[in-house]
Structure 1
Amino acid sequence: MCLPEEKMGHSLRACSGFGAGLAGLRLTCGALLGAALSLGFLLPYPASLLGVTMLKRQFEAYFGNSLCRELVGSLDWHPYTIKKFIKRKHICLEIVDKTAAWVNILRQMPIMLNTPPSFPCFIPHLLPPWLQQAAKVYEGGLAYTGDICGILIVKIMDIGLRQGGESGILLPLKNLRAMLKSHSTAFIFRRKAGDFCCKNIKKCLHIF
């Protein structure tokens, strides 16, 4: 991905809340969410929508699921389950490797979609224009598969931009702060919308 250094740093901050299935919610894998954003940069809109749909299908066909809690397992504080959870976390390295490879393949495919949706999903304008354009891949719940609502994802990206970190000794602390804020924001969203996922939400235009 050929982004200027400053924009790359902003992108990393924006994704700081994707961890552990989006803000620690154990929902859609953060690696998949980040890979989708990469396609938003690499492919023109609306071809990026189809690219993300294909990416998600490939992901689920290979790993069997796209939910963090199904990929890594549940976590409670019993010593045995913590040990099992940490051991299972090694799958995250494979997931990142595979999704990066699939993005590289999809970016080279011929453009197969040139017409945007007739009634595009509403995504609030909370991000810088270049990042907002890439984030259109979250329309319709990760490119119209009914996944996590794009409004929530973009709001969490906005929190990451303002509170997350790029590098340095304070990076873990900054990202933890962004993650905690994202986590609480997600539950505010669910209280207002009734669910996290687009397919289960009837009205979401003015939540944030």
Structure 2
Amino acid sequence: MNSFESAQRIRVLVLYNEAIVAAGLSATLGQQSDLELHAGAQADASGGPFDVVLCDYDTGIALAQADASRAGKPGGGPPALILTSLSSETAVVKAMGLGVRGYLLLGSPLEELLTGIRELARGRRHVSQTVAHRLVESLGREALTARESEVLQLLGRGQNNKSIAREMAISLGTVKTHVKAIMAKLDAESRTHAVTVAAHRGLLALAQAPLVQPRVGRQAHSLAAC
């Protein structure tokens, strides 16, 4: 391969916490003549810059947050293309709100993944149809307040109004007002229905998940120079 051909290739950094998935992605995508694949462990020695970072959800979020913290500063990192099984409205809206430029679901056809990589390398965005649908669904919906979200989490744990009032140190009447607002915003007919709708939209799953620092590694945090 001559230097001109090498310059035309898209340099893709695979940062995936699941080693088996990362190996499979590298092996499959490495067969494409226009892609140059680099595994996460090789990032420091690969010389960069990278055109696209293909990663799992947690890594994509960490990279987007790092980019946001560098807002207004030169040398922003390469665009992240998240490949994940998370398709809830909350997960999608959080990622896109942070500026993630690509979002595909595991199980997507190889051609869609290749299209996503090439689109991001050209400075465009690319999301799967399901992800686009989740974004459309979120439009026009009234968001829960911080207090309502707290009450919702406790409802999801099966707590009644009195125990919620004790835990949040608020009056029983205030709890009832929050529960009524939650049901209205989620278009739910009952408390149980509200929890079901919230779980479907990802409003409970993400909020109750333990805060674990993703194993992004030193190479991910050094992408500002890429």
More strand as a share of residues: 2
Q: Same fold (TM over 0.5)?
A: no
More helix as a share of residues: 1
Q: Report 1 or 2 for greater relative contact order, CA contacts < 8 Å, sequence distance ≥ 6.
A: 1
Q: Which has the larger radius of gyration?
A: 2
TM (normalized to structure 2)? 0.22
TM (normalized to structure 1)? 0.24
